[in-house]
Structure formats: structure tokens, C-alpha cells
Amino acid sequence: MQREGVQSGRPVVASGQSDEPGLVARLLAELGPAAPAAVMVFASPSAGLTGIAQGLGEGLPGCRVIGCSSAGEFACGGYCSGSVVAIGLPASRFRADAIWLRNLPGLGVSDWMADLRAQMARFEPNGRRSRFGLLLIDGLSQQEELVAATVDAVSHRLPVLGGSAGDGLRFEQTCLVLDGVSHADSAIFCLFETDFAIEEVIFDHFSPSATRMVVTQAIPEERLILEINAEPAAEEYARLIGVPVAALNPRAFAENPLLVRMGGQYYVRAIREVTPQGGLTLMSSIETGVMMTLGRADDLTHGFEARLRALGGPPVLILTFDCILRRLALEQAGLEAAVARIFGQYRIAGFNTYGEQHGGVHVNQTFVGLAFLDPEAAHAA
């Protein structure tokens, strides 16, 4: 893998367990020969991400090191936990720039827009190369919708994908890092251009059922539903999916998502937890009066494979942001081996998120990926 990346300028994927002795040195040995313009690092919350990023930055002068903590990882194989995944994008085929979007609680939209416009001005497009953006956001900030919409407003229809940094299933503290520096309550926007052809891969495995409900009381700024159908939210949701309230847990939420229809399309509004008062905390915003539909799980892998086969050629990498609740549903269905085979065959690497962003929208329980394709093969296809 390393030799191929060096010769062709293809992305290089390196990974290891977070407690592996000499992990940074080994990652550098695998990434260094590719002379990356940027390295994306996705790590278990226990890994010490800032220290790893600093070590990679010291060993790769001039390389932008961008990363976040995760709810799980994967590196061209099955789902992992307690690991570190590093993806190097060689300077021979990629150009990169990255900026902080600070002060998410303060809603600093004007400052974000000014910084984004300055970044765009520094990064004049090359008509022979593909351009795209990647967005990493504090997954506990509850500001993903606003940040994604702000970036979309400035990026002028540029393909932008991303994920919300995670903390396993603890939901306590996330970490984002850029060039060895970490800031709380922030997001990172990365602007890239590449010689590879690119194609977005967006997939979820749910369709709407006949079960509908109305949010009759909510606190949008807290992503909290207090009542559904004028009943306590957790009780009514449990009744609708046919389980006792005591059985509500991440796996139940993963198998029974809430769907909201917007612009003729259904989006998942995933449930994070039941509050002590019997409410439901979501991973996306919700408002009083919204009509929701209970999601029904479709086939978890066959439709996904069909989408991957429809790509304009074999991918050299699919950089991916995959919701932790999708992972839980796949594991509950006993599909770990199928996932490992697919992720290996199509070179899928990335991390499990608290939410995903694409097209200026924040979603949940969705596979959001960007495929890098050989331009000659893509043109032929």
C-alpha cells in the first residue's frame, strides 16, 4: 500500500491501536515516503490525539495535520475501536489549506464568513483539478446545522462533506486538532484540490414507515423533544416502536430512527439519549410542530454495494464519515464481516461520527463519503 501510494500519488492509509508502543514513529514511516500535503487523523478519545498530531507535524514539515476524536474508526477494513487512523494525501496530487471556525457557542457567523472568504481568495481554482471541502465539527456543540449552512453559503456549490467529532458513546468531550493545536467549541474547514476525479457517496438504509407523529413540545436550542403526540416523548416513542421505556438504548435508537421530510427528501433525526425527565435528546435540531415519521430499516448492505458498484471507476480511496448509530445497527444485524469485506474492497477509511454534513445539511445515520477515482478510468466510465 505504501509503495503504491509513493509511486502514483495515491492516498496512503496507516492505522494502529492507540496504546501501540512507537505508534507515531510507525505512522510516520508509512506516511512519510508519500510526502503528504495533508494528513487526516481520526482517533479514539483515549489516544491522546493532540500529542499524536504534534508528533506527525514534527515528522512531516510543511504538512497540514487535521484531525478529531471519534466514536469509532475504520481503515480499509472492518470497524475498529481504540485505534488511530491516519490518511495521507500526497502533495504530488493534492493541495490543501485549513482554518479554524472558532467560538461555536457565540455564533460567530460574521467572523466565520470573513475567514472562509479569505481562505477561498487564497485558493484560486485550477480548472484542471477537482476542488472539495471537508468539515470537522465539535459533535457536542449543537451548532452543526449553522456551521454547515454557513460554509455552504460561502463555498458556492463546492462539494463539502464532513463529520461531527465523537467521544465513543460517552457524549462528554470531543477533540479537534489542526497542526498540533486544539481548540474547544470549534470547527475546522479544509479546502482541497486534486488531480483525482471525485464523486460523493451518500447512503442511508431507511425508508419511511406508515407511523407518523407530531412534536408537540420541544426546546430546539437543546435539541430536546419533551412531548410527542401530546404525551411524554420517551413513553410515546417507546410505545410506537413496541418496547418498554427501560429498553430504550443506542441500539434501539439505531434501529428505529425518526425521519423528517424536507424538500421532498427524508432526513434522519437520530436520538442520542433519554433524559431523566423522560424527554428525548437528539443529535440534530428539532422544533415544536414538526411532523416526523418512524424509519423502517431496509437492506443494510446490498443497496450500499449497488451504490459503490455504480461509481465511475474503482476508487483509490473513499474518505468517509459514517454515523455511530449506523455502525451499531450493522453490528446488531451481525454484518461485521460483510462490512469489513466492502470497506476493504472499496478502500473505505474514516471515522464514526455523531452526525454527518453534506450539501449544507446536517444529517444522522448516513454514510457520507468522497470517492477519489483515477481520472482516466472515470472519464472512460
Beta bridge partners of 187: 101, 137
User: Any residues with CB less than 8 A from the CB of 334 and at least 6 apart, and which?
Assistant: none
- 155/159 Cα distance (integer angstroms): 8
At 1 the pLDDT is: 40
Counting other chains too, the contacts that 237-240 makes at CB distance below 8 Å and 24 or more residues apart are 237/271, 237/280, 240/211, 240/213, 240/294
Residue 222 grid coordinates: 437543546
- pLDDT tens, per residue, the chain with 381 residues: 444 445 578 999 999 999 999 999 999 999 999 999 999 999 999 899 999 999 999 999 999 999 999 999 999 998 999 999 999 999 999 999 999 999 898 888 999 999 999 999 988 776 788 999 999 999 999 899 999 999 999 988 899 999 999 999 898 999 999 999 999 899 999 999 999 999 999 998 788 899 999 999 999 989 999 999 999 999 999 999 999 999 999 889 988 889 998 877 888 888 989 999 999 999 888 999 999 999 887 777 778 898 999 998 899 999 999 999 889 888 888 889 999 999 999 999 999 999 999 989 899 889 999 999 987 655 555
Whole-number Å distance between alpha carbons of 287 and 289: 6
CB 134 within 8 Å of CB 161: yes
In the prediction, which pLDDT does 183 show?
Answer: 92
Helix (H, G, I), strand (E, B) or coil at 233: helix
pLDDT of residue 7: 54
Sequence-distant (≥ 6) Cβ neighbours of residue 271 within 8 angstroms: 237, 253, 257, 258, 280, 281, 282, 283
Amino acid at 306: A
Angle at 124 between CA 120 and CA 125, to 5 degrees: 105
What pLDDT, on a 0 to 100 scale, did the predictor assign at position 218? Answer: 95
What is the sign, positive or negative, of the torsion defined by CA atoms of 209, 215, 218, 221? Answer: positive
| 234 neighbors 274 (Cβ within 8 angstroms) | yes
- pLDDT for 349 equals 97
Q: How far is the C-alpha of 363 from the C-alpha of 60, rounded, in Å?
A: 34
Give pLDDT, residue 2.
Answer: 42
Can you give the pTM of this predicted structure?
Answer: 0.88
Cell digits of residue 215: 412534536
Distance in angstroms (rounded) separating the CA atoms of residues 203 and 365: 9
Q: Please give the Cα distance from 161 to 189 (Å, whole number).
A: 10
